[in-house]
Chain A
Amino acid sequence: MTPEFHLTLPVERRRAAALPPLPDFVTDLRPSDAAGPYERLARVGRAAELAGLDGVLAPFDPAGQDPLVVAGGLLRGSRHTRVTAEFHPGIATPVYAAKLSASLQRFSGDRFDWRLTVDLDPQTARAQGDFLEGAERYARAEEFLTVAKGVWSQEDYDFQGSFYEVLGGGLLFPLSGRAFPRVQLSGLSAEALALSARHGDVHVFGLDDDLDSGIAALRELSLETGREPVYGLRLPVLAREDDIEARRDALRLWIRRGGAREAFPEPDPCTALWPGFGTVGLTGSHEDGPAAGFHEPGLVGSYGRVADAVRGHLDRGVSVFFLEVEPHLEETYRLGEHLLPLLAKEKHHAG
């Protein structure tokens, strides 16, 4: 499996970042409008493109911008990176989701992917107008993907289920015939794994998950379905020239996020695992609340050590990495220039 590296985009919860004033004697030609959320996202997207990452992920966050709108703009601004939008099945009918996506595929040369969240926490879901709970959500997700794929690839498509009904459907030329978005799914429940075995192209784990048993379970299910997703991992990273520098910057991050210096957890010297990526109250400099998408454990260490840890995951069967970094622009260039070259062999000689 060729490893792939995707950058998780920031959730833009702020409107415009205020710029600090310059001293009077400094000529100040800065545009009066500070870069807004879309300009900031576009810059991060271009960073991922120039730094050679394989893709970017626009996560769903109720407090942030809409991932489909973000994805539309980023696809327009890039040539190579894949762009994933995260959404839940309640946002639209599967026919509409398919049609909108077919246009994005036409506009981008088939670079658009889906991450379908099925298990929103119930309060968030109800605020989005979605009252389904438990296993029913997986039943709907199953239908959603079945119908979306059905209209995508068939003519005169009929479907009658518990959630959706289509008669004489099917995308028409020239919206038909594009590549269906790669479907990313996650979750460890029996329903989640079963859904992935039937419809997932990438099953995404977290570092906390029991990867080996998750992968084993999916492999077994895929014997029945005859298709197997590839495996992905959410991976917060802070990599530097050496371990000492990495530790220093992890400590800075910790303190910036409101962590107490005495409570700083040390990165594991062997595995580079560091549990502090999202543990603290996350207030500090984040005036609008925690930076979402910054999951708890991640990797802190030298480029070499982080590359080793990535290789370890490759050996266990993971091939798609959703990197989470901060600040996005600098760290993306850093990864592109220092970490990815160490993994060039895996990237180019994969089986």
Chain B
Amino acid sequence: MPVDFYWRMAMEGDQPSLRRKGAASRGGFAKDATGGLAPGTREGGPDGYSHLDYLAEVARATETSGFVGALLPSFPHTDDPWAAAAALAGETSVYRFMVAFQPGFLHPVQAARMTASLQVATGGRVVYNIISGGGGPQQLWWGDKVDHDDRYTRTSEFLDVLKGVWYADRPYDHEGRFYRVEGGGLPPSLSGQPFPEIFFSGSSKAAIVAAGRHADHYLSWLEPLPSLAAKFDQVREHCAGIGRVPRFAVRLDVLARETEQEAWEEIRRGWARPGPAATPAFVGLGDSVGWRRGQDLAGEGNEDDGHRALEVSPNVWGGFHVLRAGPAFGLVGDYRQVAARLDELIGLGVEAFVLGGVPHLEEAYHVGERVLPLLRGGAAGRGGGS
């Protein structure tokens, strides 16, 4: 079974390194524009470049260094993935755009039309990351007051309607709890496109149930391996009950260097730098079961503990959220160690990865060229390579 490696597009802007925690000065996300780029300054004025120009460079780097595409996340503080995918559709040739979106915010007919249009524009390179939201203030910020389990019910109905419209060979009708359509379908100029592969995120029971019906890949943030294995078992068990075989995908950051010391030194410097954690408070506050799991497993990152206290097992580090916006767990080590941990994950049944690293441009080359070639596959991983 081939394993797909995706990278990320830093829709939240990018930092020059993990040492500069929270200073997303690439893409115009730092309030202090000094030293920022895309937009940068020339002769005292803006140089006319935008975040999109940087994202395009990252996409090109991603495409040529061994990744099949990238996840484009979507949070209140980020640029929008549909906008970026539409703008960059013509600029890569095999790169897949894994667009993250919450079903409630677009109408499913519009989602079908936008997706099919993007499929036409890209030659069928759209992939979905279906997210159902983290709840709390963030959900209300978006204008969505549907609560946790109902959001998954809506997600399910949304995907039913989207597929109904997509595959309709006669006028499609639907009357449900959240959506109603009469005589829907796609016109000849949009129909017959491949339906995007679905990566589905969510750790709660409701998520697992909804994913069971719709997911091609069950996508999880990295957790300590035993806990991740237990979660996969839970999903397998649910899927067995409905006669489906789940496929697993994991999203994690990697920091890989020539030597292990060099890698940890990178972390140490970021950790030692004064200032608040990078992840906006906003992100962690909701009803997200998955986010809670990550935070509980990582413990509350505290500068006094020292960064190595968050290494829960060799090379598995739960402090990334302090150094850049995003989830806690990732891998830190030399190239071989990181490759061996990825092999272990393959051994647990992971068939797709969404890797990330800061800064996304240089690290895409770095990880693609130095780590991916060292992978040996799941059999090696199950043997517990070093």
* B29, A174: Cβ atoms closer than 8 Å: yes
Select the stretch in A160-168, A196-204, A293-301 that faces chain B.
A160-168
Subset of 18 A-B contacts with CB under 8 Å: A13-B188, A38-B120, A65-B190, A69-B86, A73-B90, A94-B143, A96-B106, A101-B83, A123-B183, A129-B107, A147-B143, A166-B141, A166-B142, A168-B141, A173-B29, A174-B29, A175-B77, A288-B188
**Distance from B20 Cβ to chain A, minimum over Cβ atoms (Å):** 17
B362 contacts chain A at the CB level, 8 A cutoff? no
Select the stretch in B174-182, B259-267, B377-385 that faces chain A.
B174-182
A192 contacts chain B at the CB level, 8 A cutoff? no
B295 contacts chain A at the CB level, 8 A cutoff? no
- For residue B171, which residue of chain A has the nearest CB? A127
Contact of B181 among A76, A127, A170 (CB under 8 A): A127
* A128, B140: Cβ atoms closer than 8 Å: no
Note all chain A residues with C-beta closer than 8 A to B82. 68-69, 72, 100
* B120, A128: Cβ atoms closer than 8 Å: no
In chain A between 65 and 93, which residues have their CB closer than 8 angstroms to a CB of chain B? 65-66, 68-73, 75-77, 90-93
Known contacts A64-B187, A94-B143, A106-B50; is-contact A174 B28 (Cβ 8 Å): yes
A244 contacts chain B at the CB level, 8 A cutoff? no
A349 contacts chain B at the CB level, 8 A cutoff? no
B306 contacts chain A at the CB level, 8 A cutoff? no
Taking beta carbons and an 8 Å cutoff, which residues of B are in contact with A? 13, 28-29, 31, 48, 50-52, 76-77, 79-80, 82-91, 104-110, 113-114, 116-118, 120-121, 137, 140-145, 161, 171, 179-185, 187-190
Of all A-B residue pairs in the complex, the 4 with the closest CB atoms, nearest first, are: A72-B86, A167-B140, A91-B110, A66-B117
Contact of B83 among A66, A72, A169 (CB under 8 A): A72
- Docked Cα-Cα span, A96 to B181, in Å, equals 21
Contact of A36 among B77, B107, B120, B171 (CB under 8 A): B120
Extra contacts, 11 of them, besides A69-B82, A90-B110, A129-B110 (Cβ < 8 A), are A13-B188, A37-B121, A66-B113, A73-B89, A93-B143, A93-B144, A100-B83, A101-B83, A104-B83, A126-B183, A168-B141
Note all chain A residues with C-beta closer than 8 A to B13. 174
Question: Which of the listed residues A37, A63, A65, A126 has the most CB atoms from chain B within 10 Å of its own CB?
Answer: A65
Known contacts A95-B142, A129-B161, A165-B143; is-contact A106 B79 (Cβ 8 Å): yes
* B77, A172: Cβ atoms closer than 8 Å: yes
**Distance from A225 Cβ to chain B, minimum over Cβ atoms (Å):** 25
* A37, B79: Cβ atoms closer than 8 Å: no
A62 contacts chain B at the CB level, 8 A cutoff? yes
- Docked Cα-Cα span, A317 to B105, in Å, equals 39
Note all chain A residues with C-beta closer than 8 A to B76. 99, 172
* A100, B183: Cβ atoms closer than 8 Å: no
* B107, A63: Cβ atoms closer than 8 Å: no
Question: Which of the listed residues B86, B116, B140, B187 has the most CB atoms from chain A within 10 Å of its own CB?
Answer: B86
A14 contacts chain B at the CB level, 8 A cutoff? yes
* B179, A166: Cβ atoms closer than 8 Å: no
Known contacts A96-B142, A129-B180, A168-B140; is-contact A107 B77 (Cβ 8 Å): no
A15 contacts chain B at the CB level, 8 A cutoff? yes
Known contacts A93-B105, A175-B79; is-contact A128 B110 (Cβ 8 Å): yes
